[in-house]
Amino acid sequence: MSGKASEQDISQSVLDFVTDGSYPDSELIVASEFPVSILSKELELISKAREQVEAEINFLSRENNFDADGWILQAKQLHADIERSRVTAREIVEQHEKTNPLQLRVEDASAKVDLIETEIAFNQAVASALKEVQGLCGQLDDGRAALGEGRIMPAIEVLEATKEAVKQNSHFANTNVLDILLDNISGLRKDIIEAVQNRWNMLLRIDKTEGKMVVSESTGNSLEETIAALIQLELFSSTRDKFQRDLMTRVLDPILLPAVTGYSHGLRISESSICLEPQSSETSVSELLDRIVSVLGFLRQYLPSSITDSFSDVFIPTLSSKIIESWLSPAIPTELEGLGQFEKILDHVLKFTKDIETLSWHGQEALVSWVNQAPRLWLARRRVDSLDQVRKILAASQGFTQQVERIEVEKVSESDGALLENATSDDWDAGWEEENEHGSKEKRVETKDDEEDVSAWGLEDDDTEDHNTEVKQAAEDDDEGDAWGWGDEDEEQPTDNSESKVEVATKPVNGKGATPHASPREVILKEKYTITDIPNSILSVIRQQVKDSETTSQPTHAHSRVVSSGTGLLALPTLILAMFKATASTFYGLKLQSGQMYLYNDSLYLADQVRNIVEEHQLTRLHPDTEALEKFGKFAYSKEMQTQRTIVTDLLDGAQGFSQCSEQPFLGECENAIGATVDRIRDVFKEWQPILSHSALLQSIGSLVSTVISKMMIEIEDLGDISEPQSQRLVSFCNQVTQLEDLFIPEALDNTERSPMTAVYVRNWLKFQYLINILESSLADIKFLWLEGELGLEFSPEEVVDLVEALFAESDYRRKAIAGIRRASRGQ
């Protein structure tokens, strides 16, 4: 049994030899080399053994009588043995060190042997790989030779076999040889693809310049073989798709996509070729469909099924889409006269789908669906056309205007009729002119004398209960707001052009209601205003839809496919009016001066005419549209009024609240502000006068004047202290505004002179006149106007007291006057 003695056994054997002089019994220990690594340990064991022997000697020498010389001799002998052991150990180490170079030479020789064996194996593998490369290159050369002879399929087989062999051979992995082989394979593949493509283009040639397609079948170069080669190369799908695109672009698109509507290129089909005519000619839808059928028949006859069968999935739906978009949709008539021809087109489309099916094509479902949806499509075309007409009407309008007359027949009582006939002779405003020339007592008398005339316009709210009842009833009957514009200024609601005259005609005389038993009589009210050429054009489009809807219900159209959509035409007026409202604001604002006022007139006129159509044809569905159109027009009016109101307010802000208005430079600023404001109102009057009816004009100007004098009164009343020079200047400024009353003269039916009706159209006009009186009157006059006059009808006690305190200095007279005013107000 072979083995190796442990270091511990070797160390113990040496120790036993040194201490006892005994040799090891084991041959394994005797044959073992003494390791250098245990030399220090062995010396340590020997030293311990020595120390132990010395200790025993010392102990024995103390206990017993012994022979010292003998022990010394033994000690010397032991020392000599130890020295011999050291020499022996050194020899063992030296022998061990001499064996290391030999071991290294052995290992080096073994490595060289392994390297030589590896090189031999590598050389054998290289030789084998080179043989395989040589064989593969030979295969590639055979493939190129077959390709040169026109044998494409054998070349493809060689290519695939070579590619598979390279793929399966692991010797080529991560080597330059693999890249070289792959490059050669790729080059052969490109050559094969080029040859196949050339053969495909030779067999199926499309001339892009002439619009010509030729199918040729050469001997030995069949199209089927070419297709098989393309399939083998996984190129058939992309090649077929490219051919389909070229066919569509170069042959069919010139037929289907005309540069001029209704024109298309003709076809010349000869043996195995299709050629387009160079010039387009006028073509009907039927002729176009026949041409497409001829092309499809040619393709089915001369092309293999592997091409045509796949065409149906994309080619026919694309073809159908272009036919619908470029020919069928434009063929939908917008006039009823074209319905007969349209029915023939629908029949021919159905015939076309059957011809496609006969030729074993499929994908024509879109055309069948289009025919089935013809009623809806016709209605949609009418809708688009009618909306486009509205856009064209607005874009093409030159802003031509014309005057129209609105006539209304109103029933009024006998007394109201008499008032309407004699209205021109009333000079109710004369008293105010007298007031500016005489004292307060004369003013009081004149005001009393004219009280009856003023009451005729309903300005005296507290006279009788009957008058209040009539005013309330008039407000309830007028859904569009107060005829005189006395409503909320923030929501300007103009009246219809003649409603203001109705209001005047139905007012009670002298603040009293009409006689209950008086028989009413009819009064014809007329008023002219200006519209553009747009409303009548819009009305013609609306009337056409209504007329065509009635026509389609006649027996002559009973067999038409689209007759079911005839009633749908009645929904188009709503869309037409909505289109007008959506686009009119931009047009009127850009092309017309005072466009919002023209839009107001046009909208009300259009709404009135549509209402007549509704009544004539019983189209109750249009009632909400007429109401919405009226609101739209009144919103335009309100928008314009708000703009003008903002302008005059900004101009009047230049007066800076009339503070220190009697001193420069504030005086100049106040004069400029008042002058600019008055001039602006007159300019607006001149601008709107040819547009609005007279009553609407006076209403709108009255609203602007009311805005101005309301602001002036508020700012004057806010002045804490008004000196006499300031008072005179304020009166001057107010009189400048008062001169605007010449704008409120009603239209004369004869040559008789008519008085201004400012108080009718300016809701706070009377209060403004009283404010002027207060500013230029004495304390006694103001007290008299409050106690004996009608100042209390316009001003509250606190307003009068604030003005008195601002105008007059503190005194007993002022305190007594204020006390009298307050006492009189409490007594009321």
**DSSP strand E in 588-739: where?**
none
- Per-residue pLDDT tens digits for 362-382: 888 999 999 999 999 999 999
Cβ burial of 443 (10 Å; 0-12, 13-18, 19+) is: buried
pLDDT of residue 460: 34
* Angstrom distances, CA of residue 147 to CA of 159, 181, 193: 11, 18, 10
> Could you say which DSSP state residue 218 is in?
B
pLDDT of residue 239: 86
Instruction: Give which of 451, 392, 464, 453 is closest to 424, Cα–Cα.
Output: 453
Query: Could you tell me the two tokens for 111?
Result: 């490595």
CA angle in degrees (0–180, nearest 5) for 322-327-328: 95
β-pairing, 401-412 with 273-282?
unpaired
Which pLDDT tens digit goes with each residue over 404-436? 988 777 666 655 544 444 443 333 333 333 333
Residue 656 has pLDDT above 80, yes or no: yes
Measured between alpha carbons, how far apart are the two ends of the chain, in Å? 149
> Which of the four pLDDT bands, split at 50, 70 and 90, describes residue 494?
low
> Are the CB atoms for 804 and 779 separated by under 8 Å?
yes
Is it the case that residue 773 has pLDDT exceeding 80?
yes
As a whole number of Å, the CA-based R_g of the chain is: 60
Query: Which H or E element spans position 74?
Result: helix 68-148
Over 80: is that where the pLDDT of 345 sits?
yes
Per-residue pLDDT, 272 = 82
Tokens of 381: 């075309």
Give per-residue pLDDT as tens, 787-801: 888 888 888 888 888
Q: Which of 224, 223, 149 is nearest to 192 (CA)?
A: 149
pLDDT band at 546 (very low <50, low <70, confident <90, very high): very high
| pLDDT single digits (tens) 560-618 | 777 778 888 999 999 999 999 999 988 998 888 889 999 999 999 999 999 999 999 98
Under the banding of pLDDT at 50, 70 and 90, the label for residue 169 is low
pLDDT confidence of residue 63: 63
**pLDDT score, position 454:** 31
Q: Coil, helix or strand for 575?
A: helix
CB atoms within 10 A of CB 260: 8
Grade residue 535 by pLDDT with cuts at 50, 70 and 90: very high
Q: Which of 105-114, 466-475, 595-604, 755-764 has the lowest mean pLDDT?
A: 466-475
Of 678, 446, 110, 543, residue with least CA distance to 118: 110
- In angstroms, the CA 472 to CA 508 distance is 13
At 432 the pLDDT is 30
pLDDT at 685 > cutoff 80: yes
Residue 135, pLDDT above cutoff 60 = yes
Q: What is the pLDDT of residues 728-746, one digit of tens each?
A: 899 999 999 999 999 998 7
Q: What is the model's pLDDT at position 827?
A: 55
C-alpha span between 390 and 223 (Å, rounded): 58
Selected residue with higher pLDDT from 616 and 222: 616
Confidence of residue 624 (pLDDT cuts 50, 70, 90): very high
Range 645-827 classified under CATH 1.10.357.150: yes
- The per-residue pLDDT for 390 is 94
Q: How far apart are CA 659 and CA 415, in angstroms?
A: 50
pLDDT score of 723 more than 90: no
Q: How many CB atoms lie within 10 A of CB 718?
A: 12
Cβ neighbour number for residue 498 with a 10 Å cutoff = 23
Enumerate the H helices of 495-533 as residue ranges: 499-505
Percentage of the chain exceeding pLDDT 70: 80
Query: Rounded mean pLDDT of 770-778?
Result: 89
Q: What is the pLDDT of residue 67?
A: 62
Write down the pLDDT at residue 134: 65
Type and span of the H or E element at 375: helix 374-396
Closest by CA to 327, choosing from 253, 388, 390, 217, is 253
Which is more confidently placed, 792 or 624? 624
Q: pTM for the whole thing? A: 0.64
Residue with the bigger pLDDT between 66 and 550: it is 550
More confident residue, 405 or 168: 405
Res 605: pLDDT: 94
Q: How confident is the model at residue 174 (pLDDT cuts 50, 70, 90)?
A: low
- Domain positions in the chain: 7-125, 196-383, 645-827
List the single range of 214-228, 371-385, 476-490 with lowest mean pLDDT.
476-490
From residue 385, how far is each of 139, 258, 331, 334, 636 by CA, in Å? Answer: 71, 22, 13, 7, 27
- Burial environment of residue 88 by CB neighbours within 10 A (0 to 12, 13 to 18, 19 or more): middle
* Per-range mean pLDDT, top range of 72-86, 182-196, 301-315, 339-353: 339-353
Among 67-76, 186-195, 602-611, 657-666, where is mean pLDDT lowest? 67-76
For 27-62, b where at least 16 C-beta lie within 10 A, e where not — what string? eebeebebeeebbeebeebbeebbeeeeeebeeeee
pLDDT band at 48 (very low <50, low <70, confident <90, very high): confident
What local confidence, expressed as pLDDT, does residue 828 receive? 54
User: Could you say which DSSP state residue 278 is in?
Assistant: E
Helices (H), 436-571: 440-449, 451-455, 465-477, 499-505, 534-552
Q: How far is CA 35 from CA 29, 32, 608, in A?
A: 12, 9, 130
Query: What pLDDT was estimated at residue 381?
Result: 92
Per-residue pLDDT of 67-101, as tens digits, reads 667 778 888 888 888 888 888 888 888 777 777 77
Quick one: pLDDT at residue 472? 35
pLDDT band for position 350 (cuts 50, 70, 90): very high
